[in-house]
Structure 1
């Protein structure tokens, strides 16, 4: 380690056993091993602990049946701030508090003009913990930040830390290197006082040669300046009632290209049920649920035994809140091919109908077929919490 220019001359020396440690402004330095113990590590740890203790009771997990995410309680009466893409296409959601209590919530407003924000109103609440907002324009590049959320819908109450890497005030975005993974969407980005400075919204990923992608240390949150103007619309009753963003933000062009390819294939062969099914998947990912449903039904007219189309139909019917029909579609898929995907879909439909014990049994059946099937693992955990609450 090159210590040139790191600070003033040595103030004093201490011995741990026979090892000399030099006290420097940045901490303890061992010249023999080049080891450094930061003077700020303990203070940083204490700050993280205090922020988590203060804020985590007001951070929630969100489950719509087909999507999961995180949210922040911003009023004691039960207003929950989250991302629009977490609840897009839904009117209600199940909110899981930090104590695992589950409460039904109604989506009462979405951000306008592509703003990826939404507010959920919890039913029958008036004494909930809240997260305070930071002062306007108080964030600075380099300051320490914290994110709390429910990564992958399985690890609620997870904390990560980082710094603010960049601020785009024109777009209202905060860039951070805090690890924000799927499931953190909608959760809070916090300063060292435990105040809300942003709503975690997404990550920048770089495609790898093998076709995968991952967090490379570039995450984004919507700044509270954008949030406050949106909340004014919500309170005034003038907020949009449907999401103003494309499905799967940042990937709409991919799904549009896929849709074009499937439609080109159908021009060549209108009886290609696989292309029709692919068209349904692309339409669904673009948020065009009714058209997706029609595509799956067309695929099934061509080949009534094509289980992928039955599953696609069931998922789409669930998004349209037609849960009895969704259940029937998944049951038909199971008659043809009892797959983990179909059992999981049946469980979601049963849960949406309030048949929680049957839903749990369906998720367990999915896991018997494929023990590593993550959606069924996650949904089984949620069903157990719901039955035990």
Structure 2
């Protein structure tokens, strides 16, 4: 009897261990069926967003390159970035409305190419442009999300034409990583590259939450930026009222310098170095003076100030409009930090005096004199 009890006890223990071991393994191992279902659901959302958005996402081509865009009305309104539509680099400093293309080419996902008029650009530096394809009635459109619908952590998708037109409708995904409280700009980590500019940033419902405009780093650091949908709503409303700019306001044309003309007669010029748009590379403000000089003429230029350390630079304006440095000022003497130029002019022509300060941001009154040596 004792042996039978022992045998029964051993069997019971083994059975118990078997049950415990079986339960532990089930708890430890992942449920592959549930994981597969979750992956399938996520893939399903991605596919639905792509299938919904792809027909309404376009490539915007200009003579300078390309960007992306998307259709927002069945009759052919398209949104893109203003910087996608721009003049050649040589024209950006002194552009006029005729430098920007009035017509661009729009390429759909199925390869169709159509012309689109450039209706206008965002005001006050807003990097948006609106295009119009004519004679359209039933284009596939992308709906805009409600203002404030996007939140940090939301899953998002980017669609566009990165790097080359052969890569149209490339689809990436990520999450919103930050929202700027000032203007609603969205920071996200969905991979975008050059050419994605103007393309839509989409939520899981396939609605536009932003317009991709930039990313940090050539190889993409995961810090990418999109204009908020609230600004897109406002811009479209303004465009329908025809309250848009005829040129992109993101470009700030440089003001042509307007030097003060002086004579080499030794007259005392009372000047003030103040904050203005003329700034040297080191951040110092500049006032400009010009005079007519002759070959072999010896000139003396002096700049004195008790408020900052003066700097003088003399340039010759060449026949092609460029500036050629002739001389730089030096201190007038030991302990005297005021600036002086004594030089002989190499040619007949117009000369330009840069009156500035040694350190950036300095301002104050000064006296300038320009004279010839007998």
Per the shorter chain, which TM-score range? 0.5 to 0.7
**Residues 1:231 and 2:236 are matched in the alignment:** yes
2:250 is aligned to 245
Alpha-carbon RMSD across the aligned residues, in angstroms, is 3.5
Seen in structure 2, the aligned counterparts of structure 1 residues 226 and 266 have a Cα distance that, compared at 3 Å, is farther
- SS across alignment from 1:152: coil
Deviation at 1:40, TM superposition (A): 3.4
Residue-by-residue CA offset, 1:79-101 (whole Å, 9 max, x unaligned):
00000000132211000011111
Cα distance in structure 2, aligned partners of 1:247 and 1:149:
27
- Structure showing the higher strand proportion among its residues: 2
Give the structure 2 partner of residue 157 of structure 1.
169
Distance apart, 1:11 and its partner CA: 8.4
Give the structure 1 partner of residue 196 of structure 2.
184
- Greater helix fraction, Structure 1 or Structure 2: 1
Q: CA deviation at 1:171?
A: 2.0
Q: Which residue of 1 aligns with 2:115?
A: 104
Structure with the larger RCO, 1 or 2 (CA within 8 Å, 6+ apart): 2
Unmatched 5+ stretches in structure 1: 1-9, 29-36, 206-212, 249-255, 277-389
Which position in structure 2 is the counterpart of 1:58?
A: 56
Check conservation: 2:316, 2:323, Cα contact below 8 A.
Answer: no
1:123 aligns with 2:138: no
User: Displacement, 1:104?
Assistant: 0.4
Residue of structure 2 equivalent to 1:216: 221
Q: Distance in 2 between matches of 1:141 and 1:178?
A: 13
Instruction: Identify which of 198, 201, 208 aligns with 1:196.
Output: 208
Q: How far is the alpha carbon of 1:123 from its aligned partner?
A: 2.2
Structure 1 residue 152 displacement after superposition: 1.1
Give, in whole Å, the separation in 2 of the partners of 1:232 and 1:99.
Answer: 29
Alpha-carbon distance change, 41 to 257 in structure 1, aligned in 2, over 3 angstroms: farther
1:134 equivalent among 135, 142, 145 = 145
Query: Higher mean Cα deviation, 265-274 or 85-94?
Result: 265-274
Cα distance in 1 for partners of 2:315, 2:169 equals: 49
Aligned equivalent of 1:146: 157
Is residue 109–residue 239 contact of structure 1 (8 Å, CA) maintained in 2? yes
How many correspondences in the alignment?
237
Do the aligned partners of residues 118 and 47 (structure 1) sit closer, same or farther apart at CA in structure 2, a change above 3 Å counting? same
Q: Name the counterpart of 1:292.
A: none
Q: Determine if contact 1:197/1:223 at 8 Å carries over to the other structure.
A: yes
2:41 match = 43
Matched, 1:171 2:183: yes
Query: Is the Cα–Cα contact under 8 Å of residues 120 and 131 in structure 2 kept in the other structure?
Result: yes
| Corresponding residue SS for 2:210 | strand
Deviation of 1:125 (Å) = 1.4
- Cα 1:156–1:123 shift into 2, 3 Å: same
- TM-score by structure 1 length? 0.55
Map 1:336-347 to 2 at 5 A.
none
Q: Do 1:133 and 1:195's aligned partners in 2 also have CA atoms closer than 8 Å? A: yes
Distance in structure 2 (CA, Å) of the matches to 1:39 and 1:141: 26
